[in-house]
Chains A and B, each alone.
Chain A
């Protein structure tokens, strides 16, 4: 049986399967189905200081081989998370990744600092949020802006900082490089692709927010391409995600250059997706006679 363990930015994990932010809450609900200690890590629901109400319903809809969501980053706040959910999460044998966001660079820095004396293992910075000081363009769109926010937040981070990149950009590798140059310890990609869904009978938008984020197997080829391109440019670890449904999908991301992967939408299709994918990745390694999947990271043969 293959050894799936890895060391990601100094954090030891039993396998490279991480539950993706926003699809797994703080782990409690899925723990009613299986012991979430089976996972390498959990990226918790995106958090901000003071919490956020989120968008009105409807917040999601299915699309061909995928889904759109506009939950709108509803969360109880970093303070509430640290007090009410983190102690329970830390009692589990799983790496806790605090996914967070803010409204300004200062607010992002304060958010990162709020995790300083907690047991959180890593921070994952979601920079797909609009920057009100830049006409609402997301912090993660322009490479200069990615550099600026990463540099500032890194100085306020006690834990390894993962920068989660948005795919809604012209050249994601520039942003990956900007994050690396600014001191990011790792990058994760991809966040959701912006889309809309139309109800032709009512002649109106389906989502109350009009636009939503596309996820699920429909985005997998795009996500794979972006991970492959970024892996050729950066030397910091990459966490790959976007439409992973099986152990072989996870292996594909690792071949493209991801050291670890995250699983989001697949949890909805199959609530046991994360532990199943970990098991299937082990089976893939055994069949391929690989001792540890880290051996195949970035070894994809291309033409």
Chain B
């Protein structure tokens, strides 16, 4: 974990409403693992909280990190306005990422901006028999498909790419064909909850990457806690920034 001035090597439009930023951050890239994130200072000195952003790709040799950022509110808009040559304070790598656990067949599930960390997970863990399922709003929102290390099935909300369906439809069809050893997922909460239900009902090991508002980003403030089920039927709070963002699907208690 380091807090560094990362240099912006490039910034371009990855898809509709999504900016790709490549950072020169060798101290972070050399330690980073799929599913981890960085805590980025908003580059205007007007925001007291940093913004957590996942790693879409990391290259230890080149010392680079690739991010895909959706300009949502003020903070991410400012980050997305960074230009080549600018620097931005980044703390990372943070959190506990995905764990391949030596699985032979992994099904990856990504929705919207959640496809970004799944791309990182695919680079780290995809095998020939693995497959990814991506859900996008329209064909204009598509990214992460071209250099994928395994087969990718895309669906969309309007049918402009792939089927007009939720990503769980092709996922279920694929599971019927061949049961995977592991599922990794990141995306909007309704999608994660649907994937969780499928995995838990079928007793397939599954890892979900969660989001919560963050303060410190390193496990000190307990600001990012979410409810986690314990094996004995009770529950506890765990920190998305330190114990997660990736959790076992059996642990996650959606809806408070």
The size bracket of the interface on A is 35 or more
Residues of A within 8 A of B3 (CB): 33, 270-272
CB of B222 within 8 A of CB of A269, answer: no
Residues of B within 8 A of A23 (CB): 215-216, 220-221
CB of B49 within 8 A of CB of A67, answer: yes
CB of A61 within 8 A of CB of B213, answer: yes
In the complex, 19 of the A-B residue pairs with CB atoms within 8 angstroms, ordered by the A residue number, are A23-B215, A25-B220, A25-B222, A28-B220, A30-B218, A33-B1, A54-B225, A57-B213, A57-B226, A57-B227, A59-B213, A69-B221, A71-B221, A71-B222, A266-B48, A267-B216, A268-B215, A268-B216, A269-B50
CB of A65 within 8 A of CB of B46, answer: yes
Q: Supply 11 further A-B pairs (C-beta < 8 A) apart from A25-B220, A53-B237, A268-B48.
A: A23-B221, A25-B219, A33-B218, A59-B213, A62-B47, A62-B48, A62-B49, A69-B223, A71-B221, A266-B48, A270-B41
Residues of B within 8 A of A265 (CB): 48
CB of B91 within 8 A of CB of A271, answer: yes
For residue B212, CB closer than 8 A to chain A, the reply is: yes
Q: What is the CA–CA distance of A115 and B46 in the complex, to the nearest angstrom?
A: 40
CB of B225 within 8 A of CB of A32, answer: no
Residues of A within 8 A of B46 (CB): 65
How far, in Å, is A146 (CB) from chain B's closest CB? Answer: 27
Contacts between chains A and B (CB distance < 8 A), count: 99
Q: Which residues of A contact B (CB under 8 A)?
A: 22-25, 28-30, 32-33, 45, 53-54, 56-62, 65-67, 69, 71, 74, 208, 216-217, 265-272
CB of B50 within 8 A of CB of A268, answer: yes
CB of B215 within 8 A of CB of A60, answer: yes
Q: What is the CA–CA distance of A216 and B223 in the complex, to the nearest angstrom?
A: 15
Q: What is the CA–CA distance of A267 and B219 in the complex, to the nearest angstrom?
A: 12
For residue B250, CB closer than 8 A to chain A, the reply is: no
B198-212 interface with A by 8 A CB criterion: 212
Residues of A within 8 A of B41 (CB): 269-270
B20-64 interface with A by 8 A CB criterion: 41, 46-50
CB of B220 within 8 A of CB of A69, answer: no
